Chains A and B, each alone.
Chain A
Amino acid sequence: MNYKTIEFLLLQLEESFSKSRSNIYSEVKKEQHFRELYQLFKSIRDSEYRRLRGNELYVHFNILTYIFKGLEYLDNSTLNVIPYEIVSCLEKALSDWIRREDFIVVTSLSNRNLDFYFESGYSEEYFQGLNKYVSKFYGTTITHRLIRIGLPKVLARDYLSCVALYHELGHFVDNELNISKKLLLETYKTDNPRKSPSTFMYYSHRTEYFADLFAAQYINDASDSFLNYIAYDEPDSQTHPATAKRTKVVQEFLSNQYCMEKNDFNKVLKASGSPQLSLRHNSIDVSNSDFIDLVPQNLENDGQLHYIFKLGWDIWKESDDNFLKDFKSRQKHQIINNLIEKSISNYTISAQWKKLNDGTIQ
């Protein structure tokens, strides 16, 4: 690698910024992040990067890649494209676990069907290191870390499918708090999942169980319902436990039976002073729900907000026999999605309005 690589990346970024500069985010943190990324880019572009040598070149390559990634997610997180109803639910769940103010939830819309993922890579350690470096050499810093969530473009408004994002958020929380890594260390006396095939499998399966239980705290078994659509009866693999095993663990957790996986995670969480895995939703009885009258659910608290996805799934699964039976299949799906979206937005808008009138927001 030589300075021409850096120059090449800078030119690509120049082009990228020229397109992204007109983005409108409607969120101060995102605007700020954009400005900070641009400031960092500008500082490097205007520096004497041609004199960079050895390791400095690699460091700069990584910084510029970091800026690229940030821009990619910001581009897909403008108000026009970000599915902010689901993101607002995820942010509430997130605040149970980490300081939300330090993060920005951003999305990337993928063209691939069923492409839900949480993109890891930039840990707290990396972020601190990056800031230390750029502060020293360029006198600038980045304030927020990004929680990067990918979802299929065509399903961005499909709330029945978006339950997968709670699972993905679970992966993020696991990564942040190192829960599965700590379990690996306890069991195999190593924190390197790639040490052997068995450590990799053990670690990967813990991460999936944690993400499943994390999601179940908020949306009950809605995530399982989706899992059964996309991975019905899948056997054990190196990366994922068998679907039947995952469903069993979630059912044990939800029915408050002995659940070894939950107990293992909670032991580690307790030791590190983090919250415990517990039920964090309030059920809504289908037969008493407002959906039956074809109106949005009047949600009373955050617990019910998360449960709205489970309500949607329960109604969808019975939609050939329940109050939706006379509608066409496409309409049933649209009606459930629309009512979920409006229930969420009514809840958040009413809460903001109340705060405004109480004088708690200016």
Chain B
Amino acid sequence: MGPFSRKRRSGTILKKEILNLIEKKKLVVTPLLDKNQIGEMTMDLRVGTDFLSLHQGREAYIDSTTDEINRRPIKSHFTETRRKLGETFLLHPSQTILFSTLEYIKLPANIFAVLSMRSSYSRLGLTVSTIFQPGYCGCFSIEVVNTGNTAIKIMSGARIVQARFVRLKNTSDYFSSNRKYTCQVRPVPSKANEDEELIKLKGLLEN
């Protein structure tokens, strides 16, 4: 590094830099309906229009170990439903739902995002825990659980989660390995059963 180059520090990036990255199109957030979504060190993200809710069907369990054609796919355990902005969705106690953020996001190769509930919603008993890797592009697919014992109504378009952007010292290549969730715009059920390694693991038993 030369004497005049400025070394960018790793760690959480702040409002000024978030705005700067957006302006330079290094960080893409679209649509950004209101610039006030960007706080001092986080950005509020909105509930999108598509939801997947986990239901109990005729299968006693979700089989995450196989992707064979004669087995029910994981997505059959979810019910897909849509809302328009301003409409509501009811989260029942202990229910897991997946939704996409309204915002489509593309992260730079050296920044990852950590998602958490906005405190107004965590106080209702909603939890979320997700990290998105540097270079990710797509709407964030978010798993929310209502851990309380009361149903909670949420509104499509509401700012429910917040993203903290964290810079790494080095860049990483998001597409260096096969990505299952590229450019997703609707919530996608788990693809745990598509892990290629599962076949290798089964091979251990056969040999």
Stretch at the interface among A53-61, A69-77, A242-250, A340-348: A340-348
Q: Contacts A79-B84, A80-B80, A349-B85: A298 and B182 contacting too (C-beta < 8 A)?
A: no
User: Which residues on the A side are within 8 Å of B106 (C-beta)?
Assistant: 293-295
Choose among B33, B83, B137, B175 the residue that contacts A79 (Cβ–Cβ < 8 A): B83
Q: Is the CB of B28 within 8 A of A338?
A: no
Choose among B30, B83, B182 the residue that contacts A294 (Cβ–Cβ < 8 A): B182
| Chain A proximity mask over B130-158: 1 for CB below 8 Å, otherwise 0 | 00000001110000000000000000000
Asked if A331 CB lies within 8 Å of chain B CBs, one says: yes
Query: Closest residue to A342 on the B side, CB-wise?
Result: B185
| Chain B proximity mask over A345-356: 1 for CB below 8 Å, otherwise 0 | 110011011000
A-B pairs with CB below 8 Å: how many?
Answer: 59
**Complex-state Cα separation, A334 to B80, whole angstroms:** 18
Q: Is the CB of B104 within 8 A of A80?
A: no
User: Which residues on the A side are within 8 Å of B183 (C-beta)?
Assistant: 294, 334-335, 338-339
Query: Closest residue to B105 on the A side, CB-wise?
Result: A295
Query: Closest residue to B184 on the A side, CB-wise?
Result: A338
Asked if A326 CB lies within 8 Å of chain B CBs, one says: yes
Number of interface residues of B (CB under 8 A): 26
Q: Is the CB of B30 within 8 A of A341?
A: no
Asked if A327 CB lies within 8 Å of chain B CBs, one says: yes
Asked if B82 CB lies within 8 Å of chain A CBs, one says: yes
Contact residue range for chain A? 20 to 34
Asked if B102 CB lies within 8 Å of chain A CBs, one says: yes
User: Which residues on the A side are within 8 Å of B80 (C-beta)?
Assistant: 80
**Complex-state Cα separation, A294 to B174, whole angstroms:** 13
Q: Contacts A80-B80, A338-B185, A339-B183: A295 and B31 contacting too (C-beta < 8 A)?
A: no
Q: Is the CB of B82 within 8 A of A79?
A: yes
State the main secondary structure of chain A at its contact with B.
Answer: helix
User: Which residues on the A side are within 8 Å of B49 (C-beta)?
Assistant: 345
**Complex-state Cα separation, A298 to B175, whole angstroms:** 24
Q: Is the CB of A349 within 8 A of B102?
A: yes
**Complex-state Cα separation, A310 to B33, whole angstroms:** 27
Asked if B87 CB lies within 8 Å of chain A CBs, one says: yes
User: Which residues on the A side are within 8 Å of B85 (C-beta)?
Assistant: 349, 352
User: Which residues on the A side are within 8 Å of B138 (C-beta)?
Assistant: 338
| Chain B proximity mask over A33-59: 1 for CB below 8 Å, otherwise 0 | 000000000000000000000000000
| Chain B proximity mask over A155-196: 1 for CB below 8 Å, otherwise 0 | 000000000000000000000000000000000000000000
**Complex-state Cα separation, A82 to B186, whole angstroms:** 15
User: Which residues on the A side are within 8 Å of B120 (C-beta)?
Assistant: none
A contact set with B: CB distance below 8 Å = 26, 79-80, 84, 293-296, 298, 326-328, 331, 334-335, 338-339, 341-342, 345-346, 349-350, 352-353
Minimum-distance CB pairs A-B, first 3: A342-B185, A338-B185, A335-B183
**Can you name 12 A-B pairs with beta carbons within 8 Å?**
A79-B87, A294-B183, A296-B30, A326-B175, A327-B182, A338-B183, A339-B185, A345-B49, A349-B85, A350-B33, A352-B85, A353-B33
